[in-house]
Structure 1
């Protein structure tokens, strides 16, 4: 073999060896990528399984977590779901609109607090689906509360809100039909969002001022409507849609109650049944309003049926400024709420009622408010800081 041939042979062998090494490295890299991807996928599945199937998590004295507590059928984080006996008139049917993602964050807190003041048979919790896990659904139902799975979307969209509102109205009509021999049980329908605390005795005192056998629409006109009248005007598109359905037009403007809380008398519920009863009927009503459920309710009651909103300022929600109110004023509120926002990927609660909570983690102040109203509850501290 000549020197030139030997040189070519050596170069060829080096090239083959280098390519083999590159191929081995590529194969090894691919295997490493597959292993990492598989490991990450397994971790994600395990975390999701733990998140949805573990007991509802925790917040109270000594806890460092910022969400509501672990719960079984009688206790939440070791604290009993203790019934509170009051002398309020027991003729209100409550519906609470929630979502599967809020079962442990919001709903458990309501079950520990103001749900314990009302008749469990007169509270219907309207959620979206079973995707949150059978454990959550069973626990809530075993605690004695009526959880209705509407199969509506869990998004905060106009379609999803209208769908759930239709399910809420349907729950009321079904309860009235079931107890037709005792109509006095359901003289009022009251809707509540899952981020609202209801001062039940104060609500009862308010409703006793009105005759449920007459049409009443009671709530709070939202501040945004004071500044943007396009929400409450009967524009040409709305007018055309109402006329195309051969509905009467009794007013050109209307007021609506903020969607956090409102109450309708039995007489009004019966008169509005063709618009409200069931998801399909109410979704069609929302299309008339071209907006969300609360505006659709105001339009139907104000424009088609011809009744005005009874505006009650003591229905407070997350948009009201709570900072300047006193403890005495707060105790007279019918409802309170709070706001929440993400700051550096951490949930921050603000615009809550201005009282000092005796609990380590009570971001919404709902537990403190419950103790303010019902200090004899066993899990409330003997000496309150307000």
Structure 2
């Protein structure tokens, strides 16, 4: 998956993009100009491992001094210029949480109290403004978010939404420009892809490029199983491998 990212959208935001993983990879670290971060959280997919990784991302963001924390999974194609256009619509000095729901909402018990909350699905990505990120600190550090997850019985992306919408009382700002594998990606109009911020993929759920109205280069499915190369050529046809 990471090869498709480093050959496409990563190059549009090399200075701002960091890749968090669970091992060392000298070649990938060189390719990304030293932007590979080994979380040392372990390779498991349990709540403890994934929460540790999320907490590591969070702490790295706070240390960066940047205005926005925008995070995406490795099955996302991201369009950085469109992402920038989106977040510029909002005042980063305010508490802002941008994303897309997978389900309307959840309820959970935490410290003996029942809470309703909403969360931005991790498979589509989300953005959090800096003031809001700082307010999340009691529940969201590398160790703290795992503790929050365990006590509230939820996954890492749920925990972000729980902290923000339930504990801090900040509602999610919804956008239709983020897309996860929880929706049928094949029904999306491929001619709108250059306007989207993120597009997810999986082996059994991916975008369909058959109805393109342009002469953009479309790669064979075996060469481009994620469709990232083809989507990138649609949005940025002057890229070398698209000519």
Pair in the same fold by TM > 0.5: yes
* 1:309 paired residue number: 172
Q: How many positions carry a matched residue from both structures?
A: 233
Q: 2:218 aligned to 358, 373, 385, which one?
A: 358
* 2:240 paired residue number: 378
* 2:157 paired residue number: 294
* 1:128 paired residue number: 22
Could you say which structure has the greater relative contact order, defined with CA pairs below 8 angstroms and 6 or more residues apart? 2
* 1:274 paired residue number: 138
Question: Aligned ranges for residues 1-386 of structure 1 at < 5 Å?
Answer: 106-118=1-13, 120-130=14-24, 137-143=25-31, 144-176=33-65, 186-222=66-102, 225-226=103-104, 232-235=106-109, 238-240=110-112, 252-260=115-123, 261-277=125-141, 279-340=142-203, 350-356=204-210, 358-360=218-220, 361-381=223-243
Shift of 1:145: 4.0
Structure 1 residues 108-159: Cα deviation after superposition (integer angstroms, max 9, x where no partner): 11011000000x23222111124xxxxxx11112121411111112122212
Contact 2:187 2:207 survives alignment (8 Å): no
* 1:46 paired residue number: none
Write the distance in 2 (CA, Å) between the matches of 1:174 and 1:326.
39
Shift of 1:202: 1.5
- Structure 1 or 2, whichever has the larger Rg, is 1
**Larger displacement relative to structure 2 (313-322 or 351-360):** 351-360
Write the distance in 1 (CA, Å) between the matches of 2:116 and 2:227.
38
3-state DSSP class of the match of 1:115? helix
Shift of 1:298: 1.1
Contact 1:289 1:295 survives alignment (8 Å): no
Write the distance in 2 (CA, Å) between the matches of 1:122 and 1:202.
15
Structure 1 residues 33-68: Cα deviation after superposition (integer angstroms, max 9, x where no partner): xxxxxxxxxxxxxxxxxxxxxxxxxxxxxxxxxxxx
How large is the Cα RMSD of the aligned pairs?
A: 1.8
Structure 1 residues 2-43: Cα deviation after superposition (integer angstroms, max 9, x where no partner): xxxxxxxxxxxxxxxxxxxxxxxxxxxxxxxxxxxxxxxxxx
Write the distance in 2 (CA, Å) between the matches of 1:313 and 1:326.
13
Shift of 1:325: 2.5
Write the distance in 2 (CA, Å) between the matches of 1:359 and 1:301.
41
Write the distance in 1 (CA, Å) between the matches of 2:224 and 2:54.
29
**Structure 2 gaps, min length 5:** 211-216
**Structure 1 gaps, min length 5:** 1-105, 131-136, 177-185, 244-250, 341-349, 382-386
Shift of 1:239: 4.2
Contact 1:121 1:145 survives alignment (8 Å): no
Write the distance in 2 (CA, Å) between the matches of 1:234 and 1:325.
33
